[in-house]
Structure formats: structure tokens, C-alpha cells
Amino acid sequence: MAERLRPKTLEGYVGQEHLVGQGGVLRKIIKSGNLPSFILWGPPGTGKTTLAKIISATLERPFYTLSAVSSGVKDVREVIKKAKSQSFFSRPNPVLFIDEIHRFSKSQQDSLLSVVEEGVITLIGATTENPSFEVISPLLSRCQVYILKPLEIKHLETLLHNALQSDSVLKNKNIKITETDALFLHSGGDARKLYNIIELVVNFFSENDEIIINNENIINSLQTETAAYDKNGEMHYDIISAFIKSVRGSDPNAAVYWLARMIEGGEDVKFIARRLIILAAEDIGLANPNALLIANNCFNAVNITGYPEARIILAQATIYLANSAKSNSAYQAINTAQELVRKTGNLPVPLHLRNAPTKLMKDLGYGKNYKYAHSYNENFVNQEYFPYKIRETVLYIPGNNTAELNTKKLIEKRWNKKYE
């Protein structure tokens, strides 16, 4: 159904008004006829492929498509060869659309650089992952990035209405809609998923039955579907949340279970590893600074190995972090400090802490009476480092763990009662 209902023009395209609505940047590009290389970044089912096809068709560009899942460097070179053979002075350069470009290896992406730079092809990439992480910098610098948003309820309502009115299969069936809450909830802003759910419900009924679309029938038809992990839908966020909270709660058994759920669902290993890096800083922090090193090494290792070996590395890091002592003191400190900055504004830097590269600055007192810590016993000297207005402010509160209790004693020894 999703393919049958794919729009061919911007007038039939639903959603992404910030890009294709009146005044939208992509609509302006189409009107100008000057098509740059760009990457469409957004969740599944938001119209990335459709938009690429519409733009190419409207501008009458030859259109080549590759999937990063099944294509290699050889496939890229063959397409480039075809594009070069069709290049004429009066003919616009063709469009190469690469779906899931984030799955292209570095060598595959490198093979695109020169032809994009020379204008042999116009590249349109589609990705569900942040291009900053997944696309090499030289290629990213040659492309604009446009962000697509999940479809809103109003968009899903339009798509549902259009499907019932114009789909060659649905318009010949007796369909009655009484409720749409479950339909739109499980669609998750994804047009393709919306169409798939409608097909599931329709197939739930016999050929000549009246088809009732309501919450109960939606849930019944999805019973087997919702048991699976959907890395692009609501369950993606639920399971990563359960995973993080299990590690934070020091339960290695539950953490490995949720890790396995993500692995079995085909979750991106780098996404999991990035979450472990964040967790190591936010929830373990100064209770065990080695945790951040372990998490960072985990990310590098899984990036090199990929599936299936990456699952072992992720399991090792997950168990280590779950069993580690926990502290969110650094996380709380930066939050408190940022809030203080927002409240107090740009307070002046004390004169003794300022740099004095010129004679005038020295004459004005810049750097005067600054005490160089390394010139003192134990490389420490008690002097003021805060702006005067907020001196003695406490931002870092050591956590209740062995490492930070020792840190607390050290702060008390150095600063007496200043930071109590």
C-alpha cells in the first residue's frame, strides 16, 4: 500500500511544511532549478525517499538509487560510470539517491567525494541517524543537511483519508472507522507504518465482512507485531530507557537482558555504545573515572568490529558499568553551574585572573597579585577564582562513594570551610 500511495508531486506530499511548504527551502530549490547535494535526516516513514524522487522528477533529472545495505563500492562506481557516459553540456547532471547512507563504509563514502565535488552527480542521501556521527566530514561538508520531522496527527489523518479514498484496494472495501487513537499511537509519526497497520487490520477480516477500524481491532491485529523490537518506533525508546535505568540501578542481569533485546532487534551498535558513554559520565562519573575510558574504548571497538562480535564487547562494557560505583555529582554540578550563569549573566573576570599580554593591561592591574599554584607547597594556594559577586558558591557536591569521599576530605583540607 505504501508504494501504491507514494505521491508523485509536491501537491500530494504530506508533512514537512518547513521544507516544502510555501517559502520552504526545498520548494525554493525546485523553483530555482539549482539542485545542490544534500542529506535528508529524519525518522523512518517521514517521506525521505518520496521527496528525493519528487524533486528529481520535477527537475527532470536522471535518477539512480542505491541502498547502503546491499550496495558496495563496485555498485557506486558503476553508477558513476553511467552518469559520466550520459553527461552532456545541455543535460543536467543526474541524481544519485543513497538510502540509509549512514551504513556506507568510509571507503564507500570516499568514492563519492570527487564526483560530488566535480558535479558529475548530485547526491541525495537519506539517513535515520545523525549525519555528524555517520557521514565522513569531507562528504558532509559538500552537502546541505535537511531535517525531517515525525508526522503529526493531522498528517496521519490526511494520509488515512487519502488511503481510504484513493487506494485501489481499500476503496472497494466496506470500511468503517470508529476510533483512531491506537492507530495513530502505533504509527508513531511513520506513514509507512500507518499503511502497514491498516493492511493488517483489513486482513484481519474476511473478504466480505464490514471492516471496523477501532482501538480494539488495531491492538488485536498488532499482537504479534508489538512483541518484537522496533528500533525505529516507540519500543526503541522504551527499551533503551529500561537498559539505561538497569545499568544506573546496578543490575547487570537486567541490563544484559535489555541489551539482548536491542541486539536481536538489529539496533545500531554505535547507538548503544554512545548511550554507554553518556551513562558513564552522567551516572558513574567521579565514583569511577575509568568507566568513561571503558565506555569510550567500547565505542571504538564496536565501530571497528560490527555485528556479531560487537555484542560481546557491548556485554562486557554493560556489565562493568552496571557493577561500578555510581555518582551523578559531575552531571549535577554542570547543571547547577549553567543555571547560575543564566541567572547571573556575564560577571567580570577578577583582575588577578586575567591575562596581560600588553603593557597597558599590566598597568590596569590585569594579572596583578595572581599566585602561581606550582610555586606553593603541594601545588596549591588559597586564592579566589570565582567572580566576586558569587564567591563561595558551591556547585560540586561530592557523591557518597569511596572515591569522592576522599575528594571531599581533600577539598575540606584545602579550602577550610569555604565550600561547606
**Structural class in CATH, domain 345-415:** mainly alpha
What is the distance, to the nearest Å, from the Cα of residue 360 to the centroid of all Cα atoms in its chain?
49
Domain boundaries 234-323, corresponding CATH code: 1.20.272.10
The stretch 271-298 carries a mean pLDDT of 95
The stretch 88-102 carries a mean pLDDT of 78
Q: Does pLDDT of 409 surpass 80?
A: yes
pLDDT in tens, 205-260: 777 778 888 888 888 777 644 444 455 555 677 788 899 999 999 999 999 999 99
**Residue range(s) occupied by CATH 1.10.8.60 in the chain:** 153-226
Gap between the Cα atoms of 36 and 351, Å rounded: 50
Q: What is the per-residue pLDDT for 226?
A: 45
For residue 111, the 8-state DSSP code is: H
What is the number of alpha carbons within 13 Å of residue 232 lying toward its C-beta? 15
Q: Which CATH superfamily is domain 10-147 in?
A: P-loop containing nucleotide triphosphate hydrolases (3.40.50.300)
Q: Between 11 and 253, name the one with better pLDDT.
A: 253
Q: What is the per-residue pLDDT for 228?
A: 46
Provide CB contacts within 8 A for 274, sequence distance 6+.
Answer: 133, 299
The stretch 115-125 carries a mean pLDDT of 85
Q: What is the per-residue pLDDT for 44?
A: 84
The stretch 46-65 carries a mean pLDDT of 89
For residue 125, the 8-state DSSP code is: E
Q: Between 92 and 24, name the one with better pLDDT.
A: 24
Helical ranges in 59-94 per DSSP H = 73-85
pLDDT in tens, 141-188: 888 899 998 889 999 999 988 888 888 888 778 888 888 888 888 888
Q: What is the per-residue pLDDT for 238?
A: 79
CB 154 within 8 A of CB 162: no
Q: Does pLDDT of 194 surpass 80?
A: yes
pLDDT in tens, 317-337: 999 999 999 999 999 999 999
C-alpha distance from residue 416 to each of 84, 399, 404, 407 (Å):
74, 19, 17, 13
Gap between the Cα atoms of 226 and 222, Å rounded: 6
**Residue range(s) occupied by CATH 1.10.3710 in the chain:** 345-415
Kindly report which listed range (114-123, 140-149, 362-371, 398-407) carries the lowest average pLDDT score.
Answer: 114-123
Which of 61-75, 95-109, 231-245 ranks highest by mean pLDDT? 95-109
Residue (of 134, 135, 94, 91) closest to 113 by Cα position: 135
Topology (CATH level 3) of domain 153-226: Helicase, Ruva Protein; domain 3 (1.10.8)
Q: What is the per-residue pLDDT for 227?
A: 43
**Residue range(s) occupied by CATH 3.40.50.300 in the chain:** 10-147
pLDDT in tens, 287-319: 999 999 999 999 999 988 887 889 999 999 999
Q: Does pLDDT of 68 surpass 80?
A: no
Q: What is the per-residue pLDDT for 233?
A: 52
Q: What is the per-residue pLDDT for 35?
A: 87
pLDDT in tens, 329-372: 999 999 999 999 999 888 999 999 999 888 888 888 999 999 99
User: Would you tell me the crossing angle of helices 191-204 and 153-166 to the nearest 10 degrees?
Assistant: 50
